Structures are given as C-alpha cells and as structure tokens.
Amino acid sequence: MSARILVVDDQEPNVRLLEAKLKAEYFEVITATSGAKAIEAARKDQPDVILLDVMMPEMNGFEVCRRLKADGATRHIPIVMVTALDQREDRVAGLECGADDFLTKPVDDVTLFARVRSLLRLKVVLDELRIREVNAPADFLVGEAENPAGNWILVVAGDARAGEHLRMKLPSSVQSKVVTDPGLASRVAVSGIDLMLIDLTTSQFDGLRLCARVRSEAATRHVPIVAVVSPDEIERSVRALDLGVNDIIHRPVDSGELNARVATQLRRKNYADRLRNRLDESLEMAITDPLTGLHNRRYFASRLQQMVEARANGGPPCAVLIADLDHFKRINDTHGHAGGDAILTQFSDRLRGGLRAMDIAARYGGEEFVLAMPETDLQQGIVAAERLRKAVAKDCFRLSDGDVAKAVTVSVGVAEVFPGESPESVMKRADAALYRAKAEGRNRTVAAKRESRAA
C-alpha cells in the first residue's frame, strides 16, 4: 500500500535516513525540519501519515501534534511520534496530545512499516467515510473521549486472574468484562462492544487467531483491538498489526499508557461511528420524503423499473396505484399549509398501515401518492385501493392546532403492468384512471382500461 508520508525531524541525517528507508518501500516522502514547517506541509500536502520527532527547537513535537489535531484540515492525519525519549511520562504525553503511536529510537524498520501500514488501512476507511459525507463535522478532537463513560471493553486473557489484572488498569468510567474462552469472546464481541483488549502473551489460546477471526466477521470488523505483547516479541507484534490489530502495548502494562491508548482508539471509533451514522442518515434522506417519511419519487421510479423488468422476464403480475387527496387546495386555503401538512402526514400513516412488506409507497408530489404492489393483479390492486379509500374516509383527520378537519377523501387510479410495458406507460395509464375518478365525482377507485394496452 503506497502513501504519502511526512517526516519531521530537526536533524537532517535523521530525515534522510528515514526518507531513504520509506522510499525503498515505495512510499512518497515529504520532509520538514521544524515544527512550523511541519504544520505548513501537513496543511498543504495532506500526507497520509506523519512521522514526528519530539525533541525540536522552538516548537517541540508535542506542541506540533496538539496544533495539528486542533486544526480541522489536519486532525484526521495519523501521527506517529519517533523519539529517543523512552519514559512512561513521555509516551503518555504523546498519546494524550493526539498521537496515534509513540516509537522509540532506534526504531526497528519492520515494526515501523507494520505500524504505518496499519494506520494507512484505518485512514483509507475514514477517508472514504469523510468523502461520502461531505458535511461531516470536524470534531476529531484530542479531549473528546478522555472520559469514555458508557463504552464497553472486552478483556480477553488466558485466565481470569490475568484478565482481572488488566481490567483493573482500565478507566473506571468504562464498563468491562473478562473472558478467557476465545470462542465466547467472538460471540460477545458480536453483541456490541466498543473495544477488545486481547492478551497475546497467553499460552492458553492463539490470540492472533482470535484477532483474525474478529477482523473477518462483518459485525466486528470495525471493533478496535488493543493487543498486549512482550517487548521482545517483535515478530508477534508485526503479525498482529498486519492482521488488523489497532494498537500494541507492552508488558508490564502501565495503566496510564493503557488508558491513553484506549482513549485514542475509542475517540477514533466514536468518530468513525458518527461518520457512518451520518452517511446512513444521508442515504436515508436521499430516498425519503422529509414530511411524510415515505419514499420519494426518485426511489419509487428505480423500484418500479425493477418490477417492470421482472414482469417482462416472466415474473409475477404487479399493480400500480396513484392516489390523490380530493380538493386539497381547499384544505390549504382553509387551514393553511400547517393544516395541509398535518393531513398529508396522517394520510401517509393510513397508507403505510395497509402495506405489505414487499409494497413500495412514495409521495409523488404535493398531495399525490403512488404505490407499487408486486405479485398483485388488477383485481387485487382494486381491492387494495378500496381499502385505502375507505380508511381515509372512515375517520376524521386532526389539524395541527388540534381541530378536526371536515371530511377528507381520496381518489385512486389502478393499473396492472403488462409484460413488456415501460414504467412511463403504466404510470400514464394509472394517471388516466385517476383523472377519470376525479371527473366522475372523486372519492372513488377507477381501474385503467385494458384496451389502452399497446397492440
């Protein structure tokens, strides 16, 4: 996986060394020798990952990281701090200011590349969500998940005592559970958790296999995994990252560092979940009428096209209904648009109440509604139309101010789709039937004439 990497270090030899190693792996490399230049390059070139030195004059890496994460244009870029500092306080400080990882010099090349590839895979997913949701909030802030109350964390260890020891190091604000059986862990994960903490040092089960299983299941593919490994198990750490583990923490596990790494993963997951939810909402809005909650005209047209094509290929009959509220302009003139909207909403509820799961109902425009009914012939369509017409006429409608509207009725035109007929043709015949229902006095159902079928 190729990508653009920004290398930041005030020491030119360090920059050139990292640049050479990355280019040998076919990465595109951008360099900066100061904090200010790093921020400028990040904004201008939008790298996929930033490798950031901590010890720099004028502006150290911690401050650079804080500024990048506070900027909406750069806060989504993963940052790996690469430094000679190896104290627990330094690692925690780096993670708490927004860094995604903290690697100590001299950095093992295999570990570095595994970490970069892992962050790139994650960024590809987030970028895809951000591109699809152009109005996504720029709220990937450092302090957002430092109090992850309500998040569920599943601790998976070889025995209950080791699992409980890890669990006690987690933030008290999270809910957590210890599991020692990997099969049970997979089933619990599917039920909905926010993070898995898996001990890869246990000999009781193959932790890497569990990681692979979690990543292979659609229901758990996006659940963050933090793996506990021994510091000398470089090969196992690299393998874990290649399998999709999000982060690594070494034994002995420091509670402060664990909390910082967990907070980073939960913050990122919450951000991704919001993007996915907004995308789902956007997709729903694209096919839904905002007033009535029914499908809109565009969605109806696409589904009708599918039904028409199925009918042309020997599929079952299907019927189309067009319903129009009678004298709706008079309702608007009398009760205002708020009253008219109340009538439309209640009519939609009555229409929806008579639907089968396979039926497609939509607001076609104004006070006109359409209904496509698969596996329905003309006579069955007439029965459905009459059921709707009677449901509308039977009970009063409530206006927005609570008053009762005078009698509201509906006229319906019904047409059955002929094999080989186009969607435009069947809609035209159903509309002609609706026009006749209006002309003949309204509050009635009229079927399209069969003789209107093309020879």
d(CA 384, CA 413): 11
Catalytic residue list: 367
Q: Which among 123, 133, 148, 72 has a CA at the least distance from the CA of 274?
A: 133
* Contacting residues for 240 by C-beta, under 8 A, at least 6 apart: 200, 208, 211, 227, 229, 248
Structure tokens at 53: 């030195």
Q: Are 27 and 3 in contact (CB under 8 A)?
A: yes
Q: How many CA atoms lie within 13 A of 152 on its CB side?
A: 11
The number of residues in the chain equals 455
Q: What beta strand segments (E) does 115-161 contain? A: 152-156
Calpha distance 18→109 (Å, rounded)? 9
Here the tokens at position 393 are 């006429």
Question: Cβ distance 215 to 244 under 8 Å?
Answer: yes
Burial profile 97-117: b = 16 or more Cβ within 10 angstroms, e = fewer: bbbbbbbeeebeeebbbbbbb
Which residues have a Cβ under 8 Å from the Cβ of 331 and sit 6 or more positions away?
325, 339, 340, 343, 405, 408
Distance CA 91, CA 99 (A): 9
Q: At what angle do helices 35-45 and 61-70 cross, to 10 degrees?
A: 30
Integer Cα distance of 423 and 308 in angstroms: 6
**Would you say 269 and 224 are in contact if contact means Cβ atoms under 8 Å apart?**
yes
Instruction: For residue 40, give both structure tokens.
Output: 């400028």
Rounded to whole angstroms, the Cα distance separating 380 from 391 reads 17
> Measured between alpha carbons, how far is 291 from 369 in angstroms, rounded to an integer?
13
Q: Residue 33: exposed, middle, or buried by beta-carbon count in 10 A (0-12, 13-18, 19+)?
A: middle
**Three-class DSSP category at 272:** helix
Q: Please name every residue paired with 176 in a beta bridge, in sequence order, or none if there are none.
A: 153
